[in-house]
Every structure is written in structure tokens, then in C-alpha cells.
Amino acid sequence: MSESAVGSRQSAVPFTHHLSAHCESGVTASLITHAGLPLTEPRALGIGSGLFFVQLPMDQLMGAPSTSFRSKPGSIFAKVTRRLGVPTVVRRYRSPGAAHDDLLRLVDQGQLVALQTSVYYLEYLPRRFRFPFNAHNIIVYGRRDGRWLVSDPVLDQAAECDDESMSRARFAAGLLAPRGKAYWVERIADAAPARVGDAIAAGLRETGFMMGHSPIPFFGAKAIGYLAKRCEAWPRRFAKEPQKALLLLANVVRMQEEIGTGGAGFRYLYAAFLQDVADTYGDPAYARMSERMTAIGDTWRKFAGTAARLFRGGQATPELFAPVVAILEGLRESERALFRELNAHVRSGRKALPEESRFLPRNT
Amino acid sequence: MRAEEVPQDGAYLEGKKRGAYAVDANGRYTVVATAGWEAETAATRVALEAADAQIRAAFDEVKRGAKSALWYHLAARQLTPAQVAEYAGLSRLRVWWHLRPGPWAKASRELVERYAKALRIPPERLRALPEQPESWL
């Protein structure tokens, strides 16, 4: 642990906290907006290809659920800044002391710094959500009375965190250990606003391809079908302990809703992005895809609602699980069709982007 | 989902709010503050109950004398022996050794303090079991 405290000196970067749905896209949008290029959260998610689906062939991965509705932690920030050509700094530290001193120096210089942390040690979060998950992103924008001023994008208000908890959160052990990771945007390159249109196209293409065409059955829309298959087997596999079958199903719902996805496992956020793309490009095809994405999101919510009735019942039989499995199979088909179409549409329409609207970020 | 349909019936956010995306009256997507959703609360509850079952099982094992009190305190904090080894700066083998009742009873005061610092509990509590297993619910 760090010996030096935060100190009673005050300093704060002039910064407005915004409520976001998801930590990483929220942090990315805030950092880039603060540096001078207005960027909304749906855009950060879309450009960074944050929407994904993963189902790995095991029940749990070091105690964590093996289902994910998102791409690899850290990739949204990396892809957004790369696609926009924004120079960044990413640092990891060997010791909490060095990480603390560097943060202190940066904050006093007026730099907005994002950190990778473990939710387990962030005491301002609700108690029941503080499970050991190591890839939560927050922004530190100042210090006051020996405490860090924290903007946690998933909460509606800014928070404070004491130094000891912060050090622990930054140096938590286990899966995806943050190792003190701190990152920030250096400046916005002059060419960045002009690259927004191409960056959006790159983000759309990658998501469309990975979701619709992934050759590996554990990734993309195919993996939803794979999850359906696994889900169908749980009541039989755990015939003697229905609680275990329900726990595995609950883990899927938790990844979809609880961890801060904006609802329906990022599907609503992505629909918001597609709506934005329709306006930016002036292409109504994206507006129609946005509506289909919303319908898919509603189906995911229906899946969660149906599963919740099973949790309350406490029983797990193949008959009870059948409706849940059927919804997942339907989702596999609708997502696969939509993302294939999205990929094909972006590829065919790349040269036809209207020049003037490419430079204007909307609703900032 | 429409903005006015965003559920506000979660029980686990403790009065805090977080963001959800929904369509407003003009058909535009906006971010809406939500107090949570009861379907999600039901899922979280299943996971918390599973954690509680683990804690109770560890409690019983310690009571039976099969494991040391350290085993219970790890379970109560949902930490793995490997994580504690890293936090306390000890080898995994040593942590495994201290999960046995005999070696844990003989562990030196300095060693127990090291674990206590890593787990953030007073050293005297770390030596013994609480009266009741703790709960995450």
C-alpha cells in the first residue's frame, strides 16, 4: 500500500460528470469530449466495436461467468483512439506507490486520468454489486480533503474514494488484473474530426463481420445458438441440484443487465448508435436497422424476464427451460441476419458517404 | 424500450441510479436514469444465494475442524487463496498450508497481521470464527 496520502491540498479539473450506461464507453466518450472532440457514448461503443457476444465452452472461468455481451475489456478505448487518430498514453505500474505518485502529479497538472479498477474495493458502489470484477473503468478528476474525486460513468452522480481503497482497487489480483493501469488522452489531432465518418464505418464493419460471419462457434451470433444448446442441457446435467442450473442461467442475465450495459446487453446502446449513424450518413437503411436492433433488445429483455420467473420458482426442469431456450434460438437467427446485412451495407456504401455531414458530431 | 417504460423497481442499488438507453417521445434514443429492474434483482439474488451457500459450507468445514478459520474468512470475502497470497506477499503453498487448522493455530503473530492487513479485518477476528456465517444478501 502507498505510504503517502492524498494530502489535504485541493485540485480539480473543470469537468462535468455525465451519466452513462457502460463504464468503458462512458470513460472513452468523456475523455475524448473533454480533450476537445465531442463524442457521445453510443458513438464510442460503435466506433470501438464494443458490442459482441461470447460463449466459452465451460460453465465458469475462474469463478466468473463464461458469457459476455461485449468485446475484450480495454479494446473500446484502444479502437476508438486508434480509429480517430487520437494520441494516448497507457501506463501500468509495478508498485502502488509509484502509481499513486504519478496519479497525484497528473491530477495536479490538470490531466483527466482514467483508471482500470476492481469494483470489489470501490466503496461508493452499492454493496451487492461489489463482486470481484477487475475491469471497471473510472475517471479521476481531482482531490479534496485527502480523497480522490471520482467520476464513475455508471452512476448518476460523481463520487469520492479514499486512497487505500483506490490503491487496492488498482492492484487487485485475479482474472484481468489491472496492474495499476492508468490511461488518458494527450490531445486531439487536427485531423481527428475529419476521421469520424471513416471511424464509424470501421467500427460498423468490424462488429458486423464478427457478429455475423465469425467462423468460430464461441463468438458472434452463432455463439447465442451455442448458449441455447448449453442452456438446454443444464436442467438434465444438474438434475440433482437445480440451484446450480439456475445459477448458470442467472449469470447470463447478470452479464446482460447488472454490469451496466444500458439494458439488453448493449443492444439498446447499439440501436442508439445506428440511429446516430443514419443521421450522420443521411442513410435511412441504418434507421431501419436501428429499429430492428431495438426489437432484438426487447427480445433480450423478454429472455431476462422469463428467466427471472424461473429464479423465483426455484425449479429447473427441461420443460421450464424450454421457453428460455426458444427465445435464445430466435435471437441467434435475428442477430445473425441483422449483422450480416449491416456488414454488407457498410461495405457497399463506403464510397457514397455524403461529405458535408461526416464532420458534424451530433447531439453533443 | 420507451423512456417511460424503463423499470424503476430494483432493490439492490441502494438509492443510487445508473444509466439505461431508451426511446423518448420523438423516437430518439436518450440515456435515462434507472433505479434497477426486478428481473435483474432476481438474477443477482440467485448469485448472492450461491455465495452464501459457499460461505455456510466453509463455516461448517471450519466448525468440523477440517479447515482453519482463514478458510472461512476467505469464503466470506469471496477471495481465492491465490488472490490472498498475492495481497499478503506470500507463496500460494504457504497460504494452502495455513488453511489447515493445526498450522494456522501455530502461525506467528506477525504472519496473522499480514493476513489481517490483506483481508482488512482485525487480527484477533481472523483467528476465530464469528458466531454466525456472514451473508451477502
- B117 and B57, same structural domain? yes
Q: What is the pLDDT of residue A5?
A: 60
Residue B108: all three cell numbers together: 506467528
What is the gyration radius of the CA atoms in chain B, in angstroms?
21
Does residue A122 carry a pLDDT above 80?
yes
Sign of CA dihedral B121, B125, B127, B128: negative
Please tell me if residue B57 touches chain A, with a CB cutoff of 8 Å: no
Confidence of residue A186 (pLDDT cuts 50, 70, 90): confident
- B82 and B57, same structural domain? yes
**Measuring CA to CA, how many Å separate B90 from each of A175, A222, B81, B93?**
19, 43, 10, 8
Put simply, the answer to whether A308 touches B16 (Cβ < 8 Å) is no
Put simply, the answer to whether A298 touches B47 (Cβ < 8 Å) is no
- B123 and B57, same structural domain? yes
Please check whether residue A316 is in contact with residue A310, taking contact to mean a CB–CB distance below 8 angstroms.
yes
**Measuring CA to CA, how many Å separate B120 from each of A164, A301, B5, B73?**
11, 39, 42, 11
Q: What is the pLDDT of residue A262?
A: 77
| Residue B136 in domain | no
Q: What is the pLDDT of residue B77?
A: 87
Question: For position B71, which CATH number holds?
Answer: 1.10.260.40
pLDDT by residue (tens digit) across A15-26? 888 888 888 999
Put simply, the answer to whether A311 touches B45 (Cβ < 8 Å) is yes
| Residue B91 in domain | yes
Q: What is the pLDDT of residue A42?
A: 92
pLDDT by residue (tens digit) across A58-106? 888 877 788 889 888 889 999 999 888 889 999 999 999 999 999 989 9
Q: What is the pLDDT of residue A275?
A: 92
Confidence of residue A350 (pLDDT cuts 50, 70, 90): low
Put simply, the answer to whether B46 touches A311 (Cβ < 8 Å) is yes
> Can you tell me the distance from the alpha carbon of A121 to that of A117, in angstroms, rounded to the nearest whole number?
8
| Residue B74 in domain | yes
Which one of A21, A63, A157 has the shortest CB-CB distance to B21? Answer: A21
> Can you tell me the distance from the alpha carbon of B125 to that of A56, in angstroms, rounded to the nearest whole number?
40
Write the burial class of residue A158 (CB in 10 Å: 0-12 exposed, 13-18 middle, 19+ buried): middle
Put simply, the answer to whether B22 touches A263 (Cβ < 8 Å) is yes
| Residue B132 in domain | no
What is the gyration radius of the CA atoms in chain A, in angstroms?
21
Chain A positions touching B50 (Cβ under 8 A) are 243, 247
Provide, rounded to the nearest whole percent, the portion of chain B with pLDDT above 70. Answer: 100
Residues 5..34 of A with a Cβ closer than 8 Å to B: which? 19-21, 26
- B116 and B70, same structural domain? yes
Please check whether residue A83 is in contact with residue A195, taking contact to mean a CB–CB distance below 8 angstroms.
yes
Q: What is the pLDDT of residue B136?
A: 80
pTM of the full predicted structure?
0.87
Q: What is the pLDDT of residue A144?
A: 86
- B65 and B11, same structural domain? no
| Residue B133 in domain | no
- B113 and B72, same structural domain? yes
Higher pLDDT, B45 or A8: B45
Put simply, the answer to whether A258 touches B44 (Cβ < 8 Å) is yes
Q: Of A224, A299, A236, A237, which Cα lies nearest the Cα of A263?
A: A299
Which one of B50, B83, B136 has the shortest CB-CB distance to A173? Answer: B83
Average pLDDT rounded to a whole number, residues A265-292: 90
Q: Is A357 helix (H, G, I), strand (E, B) or coil?
A: helix
Confidence of residue A8 (pLDDT cuts 50, 70, 90): low
**Measuring CA to CA, how many Å separate A33 from each of A12, A18, A116, A185?**
17, 11, 19, 10
- B91 and B67, same structural domain? yes
* Interface mutation vs chain B, best among A156, A243, A293, A306, most B CBs within 10 Å: A156
Does residue B57 carry a pLDDT above 90?
yes
Please tell me if residue B46 touches chain A, with a CB cutoff of 8 Å: yes
Put simply, the answer to whether B48 touches A173 (Cβ < 8 Å) is no
**H-assigned helices in A238-362:** 242-253, 267-281, 284-313, 318-349
- B113 and B71, same structural domain? yes
Q: What is the pLDDT of residue A300?
A: 93
> Can you tell me the distance from the alpha carbon of A147 to that of A159, in angstroms, rounded to the nearest whole number?
10
Does residue A362 carry a pLDDT above 50?
no
Write the burial class of residue A334 (CB in 10 Å: 0-12 exposed, 13-18 middle, 19+ buried): middle
| Residue B134 in domain | no
> How many domains does chain B contain in total?
2
Provide, rounded to the nearest whole percent, the portion of chain A with pLDDT above 90. Answer: 39
A219 bridge partner residues: A54
Nearest C-alpha of chain A: how many angstroms from B74? 13
A60-74, A285-299, A338-352 — most confident range:
A285-299
Please tell me if residue B87 touches chain A, with a CB cutoff of 8 Å: yes
Q: Cα–chain-centroid distance for residue A120?
A: 18
**Measuring CA to CA, how many Å separate A287 from each of A133, A221, A249, A342?**
35, 21, 33, 11
| Residue B16 in domain | yes
Does residue B118 carry a pLDDT above 90?
no
Give the position of cell 481527428.
Answer: A192
Higher pLDDT, A51 or B5: A51
> Can you tell me the distance from the alpha carbon of A256 to that of A327, in angstroms, rounded to the nearest whole number?
14
Average pLDDT rounded to a whole number, residues A286-308: 92
Average pLDDT rounded to a whole number, residues A236-263: 86
Domain that holds residue B85: 46-127
Put simply, the answer to whether B12 touches A129 (Cβ < 8 Å) is yes
- B25 and B89, same structural domain? no
Least-confidence region, from A5-14, A35-44, A267-276: A5-14
Which one of B18, B20, B46 has the shortest CB-CB distance to A155? Answer: B18
pLDDT by residue (tens digit) across B66-84? 999 999 999 988 888 988 9
- B109 and B58, same structural domain? yes
> Can you tell me the distance from the alpha carbon of A226 to that of A228, in angstroms, rounded to the nearest whole number?
5
Q: What is the pLDDT of residue A156?
A: 83
- B56 and B111, same structural domain? yes
- B56 and B24, same structural domain? no
- The overall average pLDDT reported for chain A is 86
